């Protein structure tokens, strides 16, 4: 497809630290993408219009609708798109789109649910990735989005039924950077493949032990000469990911979903770790296209009548 | 008792950040105590002899034996006193005392155990507090030492049978100081008494939820206007302490101990929180004297023959 093919929609996955823009053609195919470190926390003084122009560059002149998801719709973003409650069908997301002054950007709302104890849970941006990752699947499906705040999402018949957050990535970071567990650790670049230390951490994470006790093994194994300083990060990563998977499968099963089969969305390095850990827990994995946000924004834009597909994508 | 009563032993509880010295009379009574920010991590270049003189001040001239417990016996301390394995009787602690050059200081070893998965656990200093807190009790007893790394310890017939560590205090600190949970928190001075937010956090901690999910409530409750920024620290404190208690009771019960009755050792503010949380979990609490380290060092010194009690303390 030529680089200058005509765009029908510009879609932006606009998060806390970075933003990625996609040009989509009239059938929802991605023509091109661009990203910049212009996340909501990086834009000073509410200068979001300037940030968008900077992100889009020479696409900025194209007279096509623009739609975004993620933290850009939070109270700290350009325009607040209040959380919708679960279960949330696709048309509810489309109907609740917020608009910036002058309709420069359409903004998809985030979702809210309550867990079994009535405690709120929230997402912004992941709901759109889920829409893109699920596509036309109508059967019950569990979608997993690993990350700083990993999400497990139950979807059925075009509706996001419920979801749950685990602070997996952030716990890994703060424990390694700021706790005594990191003091004996030696920094190593993230490995392309998982290691024996990751597997050992996974074995601990798969158990039924107390999280607040189990992580202390990252210190005691090193003290006893049973784990090298270079292996602490991998060991903790294995423990945290395996524990997330264990807890989340039980969560999905309590909701009547089959936690033994999931669809995974995310960047390659993290997804590889999750594939290893999910396989070790006998969970079968389908990988969604990593451009799920773009496909989700397209579907929501179509549902909202912002674009009219030229012909069916199938 | 006059300030200048004759001392028989100088006992030092020498930790990572601070050190506390006690003068004990010939019956093991505490005559006086002093503390200084001269913990192992604060003493540069191995100048522990100078640090000890500085801590003792005018006591330094008293020609009596000196004994210490805590991180001073670690690899980073003055002299390494290798870990003893559990179960460890009092006389094993006494026999394994390490000595600094010139016998300036006798140093009590730490203890080591392995949990159900074979992962090591360690303590240094708490073993001595446990000896002091248990005294002459021979019946099975669970001793709780809240803190940065809380310890639950099973004791019977003068032996430390087993123990477990929970990273409660450190998790509270790193989550509040370094994670997104602290970003919505407003710092408040530690409350003398527990608050409604502490009680709400406790209710969450008492549940069977996933730790990695449950803590995220510290953010979502604030986002939804259900918790004030000033309450985040208290809410998290309640969650972490209640979860520790829940997990540790199960741990004790698996070892055949009655987790419904514990003896608590620690400083007043933290002990008050644990009394609240233990009572809410229907655990009855006896408080040990906060000078348990001094009493433990006395008993170990007697067992080692370093001092000979003038008469029976009873």
Percent of chain B surpassing pLDDT 90:
87
Q: Would the CB atoms of A117 and B209 count as touching at under 8 Å?
A: yes
**Cα B237-B240-B243 angle, rounded to 5 deg:** 140
**How far, in whole angstroms, is CA B288 from its chain's centroid?**
12
> Each residue of B83-105: pLDDT tens digit?
999 999 999 999 999 999 888 99
Q: Is A214 on the interface with B (CB under 8 A)?
A: yes
> How far is A99 from A91, CA to CA, in rounded Å?
16
User: Is the CB of residue A122 less than 8 Å from the CB of residue A130?
Assistant: no
Q: Is A151 on the interface with B (CB under 8 A)?
A: no
pLDDT of amino acid B312: 55
Q: Is A122 on the interface with B (CB under 8 A)?
A: yes
Three state DSSP letters for A34-64: EEECCCHHHCHHHCHHHHHHHHHHHHHHCCC
User: Is the CB of residue A81 less than 8 Å from the CB of residue A68?
Assistant: no
pLDDT of amino acid B313: 47
pLDDT class for B191, splitting at 50, 70, 90?
A: low
Q: What tokens were used for A154?
A: 């139950």
Contacts of B117 in chain A (CB under 8 A): 203-204, 207, 209
Q: In this predicted structure, which of A106-120, A181-195, B78-92 has the lowest mean pLDDT? A: A181-195
How close, in Å, is residue A83 to chain B by CA atoms?
10
Residue A1 has pLDDT above 70, yes or no: no
Q: What tokens were used for B259?
A: 């987790």
Residues 153-172 on B with a CB inside 8 Å of A are 164-168, 170-171
Query: In DSSP terms, which residues pair with B261 in a beta bridge?
Result: B284
pLDDT of amino acid B4: 65
* Mean confidence (pLDDT) of chain A: 94
pLDDT of amino acid B132: 97
Residue A93 has pLDDT above 90, yes or no: yes
Residue B213 has pLDDT above 60, yes or no: yes
Q: What tokens were used for B30?
A: 């505490």
Contacts of A115 in chain B (CB under 8 A): 209, 213
Give the pTM.
0.94
Contacts of A182 in chain B (CB under 8 A): none
Residue B252 has pLDDT above 60, yes or no: yes
Residues 78-107 on A with a CB inside 8 Å of B are none
Q: What tokens were used for B38?
A: 């001269």
Q: Which residue of B has its CA nearest to A163?
A: B213
Of B120, B220, B240, the CB nearest to A121: B220
pLDDT class for B183, splitting at 50, 70, 90?
A: confident
How big is chain B, counted in residues? 314
> Each residue of A218-238: pLDDT tens digit?
999 999 999 999 999 999 999
Q: Which residue of B has its CA nearest to A213?
A: B166
Residue A194 has pLDDT above 90, yes or no: no
User: Which 8-state DSSP code applies to residue B141?
Assistant: E
Q: Is B208 on the interface with A (CB under 8 A)?
A: no
pLDDT of amino acid B268: 84
Find the largest Cα–Cα distance for chain B. Answer: 65
Of A228, A217, A224, nearest in space to A184 by CA: A228
Q: Is B220 on the interface with A (CB under 8 A)?
A: yes
Residue B133 has pLDDT above 60, yes or no: yes
> Each residue of A252-285: pLDDT tens digit?
999 999 888 999 999 888 999 999 999 999 999 9
Interface test with B, best of A113, A115, A150 (most B CBs within 10 A): A115
Contacts of A254 in chain B (CB under 8 A): none
User: Is the CB of residue A121 less than 8 Å from the CB of residue A113?
Assistant: yes
Residue with tokens 């509410």: A46
pLDDT class for B267, splitting at 50, 70, 90?
A: confident
> Each residue of A144-179: pLDDT tens digit?
999 999 999 999 999 999 999 999 999 999 999 999
pLDDT class for A288, splitting at 50, 70, 90?
A: very high
> Which value does ipTM take for this structure?
0.94
Q: Would the CB atoms of B179 and A164 count as touching at under 8 Å?
A: no
Of A167, A177, A212, the CB nearest to B216: A167
Contacts of A119 in chain B (CB under 8 A): 204, 214, 217, 220-221
Size of interface A-B (CB pairs under 8 A): 123
């Amino acid at each position: 497809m030529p680089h200058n093919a005509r765009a029908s929609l510009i879609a932006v996955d606009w998060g806390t630290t970075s933003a990625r823009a996609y040009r989509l053609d009239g059938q929802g195919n991605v023509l091109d993408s661009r990203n910049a470190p212009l996340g909501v926390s990086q834009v000073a003084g509410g200068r979001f219009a300037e940030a968008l122009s900077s992100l889009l560059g020479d696409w900025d002149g194209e007279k096509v609708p623009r739609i975004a998801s993620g933290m850009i719709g939070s109270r700290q973003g350009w325009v607040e798109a209040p959380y919708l409650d679960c279960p949330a069908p696709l048309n509810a997301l489309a109907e609740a789109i917020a608009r910036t002054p002058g309709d420069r950007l359409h903004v998809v709302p985030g979702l809210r649910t309550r867990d079994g104890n009535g405690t709120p849970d929230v997402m912004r941006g992941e709901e759109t990735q889920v829409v893109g990752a699920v596509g036309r699947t109508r059967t019950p499906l569990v979608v997993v989005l690993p990350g700083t705040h990993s999400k497990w999402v139950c979807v059925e018949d075009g509706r996001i039924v419920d979801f749950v957050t685990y602070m997996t990535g952030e716990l890994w970071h703060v424990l390694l950077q700021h706790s005594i567990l990191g003091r004996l650790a030696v920094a190593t670049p993230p490995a392309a493949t998982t290691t024996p230390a990751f597997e050992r951490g996974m074995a601990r994470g798969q158990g039924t032990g107390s999280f607040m006790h189990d992580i202390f093994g990252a210190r005691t194994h090193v003290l006893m000469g049973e784990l090298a300083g270079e292996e602490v990060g991998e060991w903790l990563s294995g423990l945290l990911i395996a524990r997330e998977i264990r807890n989340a499968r039980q969560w999905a099963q309590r909701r009547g979903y089959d936690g033994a089969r999931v669809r995974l969305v995310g960047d390659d390095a993290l997804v590889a770790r999750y594939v290893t850990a999910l396989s070790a827990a006998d969970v079968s994995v389908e990988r969604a296209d990593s451009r799920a946000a773009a496909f989700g924004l397209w579907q929501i834009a179509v549902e909202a009548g912002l674009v009219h597909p030229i012909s069916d994508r199938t």
